[in-house]
Amino acid sequence: MSLRANAARSSARFVCTDAATAHLDTPPFDRLFSRFGSMFFEAPVPAFANLKTMLKSGARIDLAVWAHPRDNLWMMEVMGTVRRHIDIAPAVPHAPGPFAFEDLAYLEEVLTSAGFADMDVLAYEGLQPVGGPGASPLAAVEFVLTSMAVGRVLDEAGAAIRDAARADLIALFTDCHVEGEGVMMPAKAWLVCAHALP
């Protein structure tokens, strides 16, 4: 059953909007969570500050964000493979993207500036199923090429380079494939919580 079908049986609803300007019609809320989404905020302090206006005093915010790239081989191995075929500029620290909040001091500064306090962090380490649970090496490659920014870079490089990188990614994911589980690669995330100030 799909997420939306499940939600239809409850009071859940979906709104597609900008976190920095959103104004929902039923606040204040008790809790807010983001699973690997908040790292992409263009302007994180205004976005979190706006979200805080919709929370009760003391309400909890929970975030899952990726830790440092060196601890996320699912990404580093992919980037290393692609870089054998094309130059890719290094990521800009704190810029919107998967690893914007790898630096916990920076994330705490953002949350504090937006009106949150008492940040607490748990580290999660495990195996990330690239392309989703049970994905084949080919399905994992299609996920990378269609859902990650590196796919757009390869598209712009032309068919020959894209095809060569694709073949190497298939080989990489074949080596990491676990029957019945998918393409499993090491990952680390920060599980962060904080509370809205009055």
3-state secondary structure 120-189: EEEEEEEEEEECCCCCCHHHHHHHHHHHCHHHHHHHHHCHHHHHHHHHHHHHHHHHCEECCCEEEEEEEE
Residue-wise pLDDT for 57-82, tens only, equals: 999 999 999 999 999 999 999 999 99
What is the reported pTM? Answer: 0.89
Residue 6 predicted with pLDDT over 80: no
pLDDT digits (tens, 9 = 90+) for 8-51: 777 777 888 899 999 888 889 999 999 999 999 999 999 999 99
> Quick one: tokens of 3?
């997420």
Which pLDDT score is estimated for 69? Answer: 93
| ∠ Cα 177 181 183 (to 5°) | 35
Q: Beta strand 182-196 with 55-66: parallel, antiparallel or unpaired?
A: antiparallel
Contact residues for 176 (Cβ-Cβ < 8 A; gap 6+)? 130, 183, 184, 185
The predicted-structure confidence for 133-166, as pLDDT tens digits, reads as follows: 999 999 999 999 999 999 999 999 999 999 999 9
pLDDT of 55 > 90? The answer is yes
Taking residues 115-140, report their average pLDDT.
Answer: 97
- pLDDT for position 43: 96
* Longest CA–CA separation in the chain, Å: 57
State the Cα–Cα distance between residues 148 and 45, nearest whole angstrom: 25
CA distances in angstroms from 8 to 2, 14, 188, listed in the order given = 10, 10, 33
Report long-range pairs for 175-180 (Cβ below 8 Å, ≥24 apart). Answer: 176/130, 177/136, 177/137, 180/134
CATH of the structural domain 28-196, one choice from 3.40.630.20, 1.10.3210.10, 3.40.50.150, 3.40.50.2000: 3.40.50.150
As a whole number, the mean pLDDT across the chain is 94
Residue 1: per-residue pLDDT: 55
* pLDDT recorded at residue 13: 77
Tell me what pLDDT residue 2 has: 65
Q: Locate 82 and state its tokens.
A: 């692609």
Q: What is the mean pLDDT of residues 108-115?
A: 98
Asked if the model's pLDDT at residue 90 lies above 60, the reply is: yes
Q: CB of 149 within 8 A of CB of 98?
A: no
What is the dihedral sign for C-alpha 53, 54, 56, 60?
negative
Whether 4 shows a pLDDT value over 70: the answer reads: no
Task: With a cut of 80, say whether residue 7 has pLDDT above it.
Answer: no
